[in-house]
């Protein structure tokens, strides 16, 4: 599974990798608003496609102000970008990434690859990164240092590899730290490739990822349910920004074509809820998995996505509170979302587990009107009936 640049950068930033300030946009108006909020003096607008060599194809352009950002985005969005890596048909540009332009002193290259035959990670480094590195490496075999790493990837291995590209001492130490972070990310994400090219070495000694690529092992995605939304946005033709925004709010969310919204914590419980709704004659409007790290405001955002779907005629809330996610946290988030909602929706609620009774009381005290389900099947049946009463 290949990630888009902005997704790869967001993941890497969690491992301490420095990235330029930036945000994604799916429309020219959004691009201008993003640029205004960023408040930068120099912008880069990047077409988000699964291919390199975007600069030469016009997929990376500079802009001096928010109005120029909007114009550049308008010229990219909704069109197909053909680069040397896409073939003549190109790839559709659904999003652009508006980013701070970094003035750097030097371009480096770093990558972590999985050697499947050897069953180990390989660290690749070059003192001259940037465009056409593959072509330059073909004519200059010594350009890229390639070092197989042992299972524990000790500091001496990484330090030895970094020493071979001849950086000043401070920059070398920074690159060693970055390499260790990428090795950790590769292990924890089950990545088969993490590449930063170019990696900027600034005049004040900072290392900043100007571009990034991550490829994840499809066979290991079952270990990473939190990446389900990234998969939806990144790989499918109908991916949308809803899933991405939900991901940022600690929620895995995929819109479906039904009329019953579902609020659920846990991927397995969510799938079971969808099955029960279908068995009861209903049509789910979404998949939702609230992560244990979600706050009440994150949950409010997720409920807002459901309430904003005009097809939705009723909502089934099926929450099992555990040690890290109490039922009352979910109830608080729903109460916040209901105060923001533009239209009332019939609610069917089933709370079980940690603070279940308190959550029901808290939701009632907020002024919300809802039915209480005794179990999951009862909840599914009530939600289907509520949707029918709502005209769905």
Question: What average pLDDT does range 335-361 have in this prediction?
Answer: 93
Highest mean pLDDT among 147-151, 219-223, 273-277, 290-294: 273-277
User: Does any domain span residue 124?
Assistant: yes
Do 216 and 282 belong together in one domain? no
Where residue 266 falls among pLDDT bands split at 50, 70, 90? confident
Q: Does the pLDDT of residue 82 top 60, yes or no?
A: yes
What per-residue confidence (pLDDT) applies to 280?
96
What per-residue confidence (pLDDT) applies to 385?
96
What per-residue confidence (pLDDT) applies to 238?
39
Do 267 and 341 belong together in one domain? yes
Do 26 and 137 belong together in one domain? no
What per-residue confidence (pLDDT) applies to 240?
55
What per-residue confidence (pLDDT) applies to 202?
94
Do 126 and 76 belong together in one domain? no
Strands 314-321 and 260-264, by their bridges, are parallel
The answer to whether 195 is a known catalytic residue is yes
User: Does any domain span residue 237?
Assistant: no
CA distance 92 to 49: 7
Where residue 198 falls among pLDDT bands split at 50, 70, 90? very high
User: Does any domain span residue 241?
Assistant: no
Looking at residue 324, the DSSP 8-state letter turns out to be S
What per-residue confidence (pLDDT) applies to 230?
62
CA distance 310 to 308: 6
Neighbours of 87 (CB within 10 A): 10
What per-residue confidence (pLDDT) applies to 243?
73
φ, ψ dihedrals at 159, nearest 5°? -60, -40
Do 300 and 359 belong together in one domain? yes
Question: What average pLDDT does range 154-167 have in this prediction?
Answer: 89
The answer to whether 32 is a known catalytic residue is no
Question: What average pLDDT does range 189-213 have in this prediction?
Answer: 94
What whole-number percentage of the chain has pLDDT above 90?
Answer: 68
Where residue 278 falls among pLDDT bands split at 50, 70, 90? very high
Question: What average pLDDT does range 328-351 have in this prediction?
Answer: 93
Neighbours of 158 (CB within 10 A): 22
Domain carrying residue 358: 248-389
Cβ–Cβ under 8 Å, residues 159 and 176: yes
Which of 99, 176, 195, 245 is flagged as catalytic? 195
Q: What is the pLDDT of residues 49-78, one digit of tens each?
A: 988 889 989 999 999 999 999 999 999 998
Which of 5, 10, 109, 245 is flagged as catalytic? 109
Show which of 79, 100, 121 is a domain's final residue: 100
CATH of residue 123: 3.30.470.20
Do 261 and 358 belong together in one domain? yes
E-assigned strand segments in the chain:
22-25, 43-47, 60-63, 80-81, 91-92, 96-100, 106-115, 120-126, 144-148, 191-201, 207-209, 212-216, 251-255, 260-264, 286-290, 314-321, 347-353, 371-372
Where residue 237 falls among pLDDT bands split at 50, 70, 90? very low
Do 140 and 267 belong together in one domain? no
Cβ–Cβ under 8 Å, residues 239 and 19: no
What per-residue confidence (pLDDT) applies to 226?
67
User: Does any domain span residue 279?
Assistant: yes
What per-residue confidence (pLDDT) applies to 239?
41
What per-residue confidence (pLDDT) applies to 84?
85
Q: What is the pLDDT of residues 112-122, one digit of tens each?
A: 999 988 889 99
Question: What average pLDDT does range 313-322 have in this prediction?
Answer: 94
Identify the three-state secondary structure at position 148. Answer: strand
Neighbours of 283 (CB within 10 A): 17
The better pLDDT of the pair 109, 234 is held by 109
User: Does any domain span residue 234?
Assistant: no
Do 252 and 369 belong together in one domain? yes
Q: Does the pLDDT of residue 11 top 60, yes or no?
A: yes
CATH of residue 46: 3.30.1490.20
Where residue 391 falls among pLDDT bands split at 50, 70, 90? low
Show which of 68, 83, 100 is a domain's final residue: 100
Question: What average pLDDT does range 78-83 have in this prediction?
Answer: 91
CA distance 299 to 195: 33
The token pair at 356 is 């279940």
Do 136 and 87 belong together in one domain? no
Q: What is the pLDDT of residues 14-40, one digit of tens each?
A: 999 999 999 999 899 999 999 999 999
Question: What average pLDDT does range 288-313 have in this prediction?
Answer: 92
User: Does any domain span residue 274?
Assistant: yes
Q: Does the pLDDT of residue 94 top 70, yes or no?
A: yes
Do 358 and 376 belong together in one domain? yes
What per-residue confidence (pLDDT) applies to 318?
97
Cβ–Cβ under 8 Å, residues 357 and 328: no
Domain count, the chain: 3
**Of 238-247, 248-257, 329-338, which range is least confident?**
238-247
* DSSP, residue by residue, 82-96: --TTT-TT-EE---E
User: Does any domain span residue 14?
Assistant: no
Do 286 and 377 belong together in one domain? yes
CA distance 189 to 8: 11
CATH of residue 372: 3.40.50.261
Q: Does the pLDDT of residue 147 top 50, yes or no?
A: yes
CA distance 386 to 315: 9
Do 141 and 94 belong together in one domain? no
User: Does any domain span residue 329?
Assistant: yes
CA dihedral 154, 113, 9, 56 (to 10 degrees): 140
Whether the model pTM is above 0.85: no
What mean pLDDT value characterizes the chain? Answer: 90
Show which of 69, 100, 131 is a domain's final residue: 100
Strands 106-115 and 191-201, by their bridges, are antiparallel
Cβ–Cβ under 8 Å, residues 212 and 5: yes
């Amino acid at each position: 599974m290949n990630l888009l640049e902005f997704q790869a950068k967001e993941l890497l930033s969690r491992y301490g990798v420095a990235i330029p300030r930036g945000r994604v946009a799916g429309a020219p108006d959004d691009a201008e608003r993003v640029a205004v909020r960023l408040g930068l003096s120099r912008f880069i607008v990047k077409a988000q496609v699964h291919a390199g060599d975007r600069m030469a194809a016009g997929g990376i352009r500079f802009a001096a102000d928010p109005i120029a950002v909007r114009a550049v985005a308008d010229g990219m969005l909704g069109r197909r970008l053909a680069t040397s890596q896409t073939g003549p048909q190109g790839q559709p540009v659904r999003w652009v990434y508006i980013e701070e332009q970094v003035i750097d002193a030097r371009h480096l290259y770093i990558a972590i690859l999985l050697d499947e035959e050897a069953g180990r990670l390989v660290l690749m480094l070059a003192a001259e990164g940037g465009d056409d590195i593959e072509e330059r490496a073909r004519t200059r075999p010594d350009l890229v240092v390639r070092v197989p790493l042992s299972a524990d990837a000790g500091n001496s291995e990484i330090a030895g590899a970094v020493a071979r590209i001849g950086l000043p001492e401070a920059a070398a130490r920074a690159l060693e730290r970055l390499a260790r972070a990428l090795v950790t990310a590769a292990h924890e994400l089950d990545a088969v490739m993490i590449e930063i090219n170019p990696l900027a070495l600034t005049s004040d000694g900072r290392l900043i990822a100007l571009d990034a690529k991550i490829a994840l092992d499809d066979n290991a995605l079952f270990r990473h349910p939190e990446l389900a939304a990234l998969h939806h946005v990144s790989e499918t033709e109908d991916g949308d920004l809803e899933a991405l925004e939900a991901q940022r709010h600690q929620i895995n969310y995929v819109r479906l074509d039904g009329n019953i919204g579902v609020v659920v914590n846990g991927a397995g419980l969510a799938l079971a809820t969808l099955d029960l709704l279908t068995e009861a004659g209903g049509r789910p409007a979404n998949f939702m998995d609230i992560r244990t790290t979600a706050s009440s405001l994150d949950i409010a955002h997720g409920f807002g996505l459901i309430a904003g779907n005009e097809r939705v005629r009723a909502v089934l809330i099926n929450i099992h509170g555990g040690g890290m996610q109490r039922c009352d946290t979910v109830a608080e988030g729903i109460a916040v979302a209901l105060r923001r909602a533009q239209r009332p929706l019939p609610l069917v609620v089933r709370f079980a587990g940690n603070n279940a009774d308190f959550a029901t009381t808290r939701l009632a005290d907020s002024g919300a009107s809802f039915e209480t389900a005794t179990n999951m099947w009862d909840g599914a049946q009530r939600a289907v009936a509520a949707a029918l009463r709502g005209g769905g």
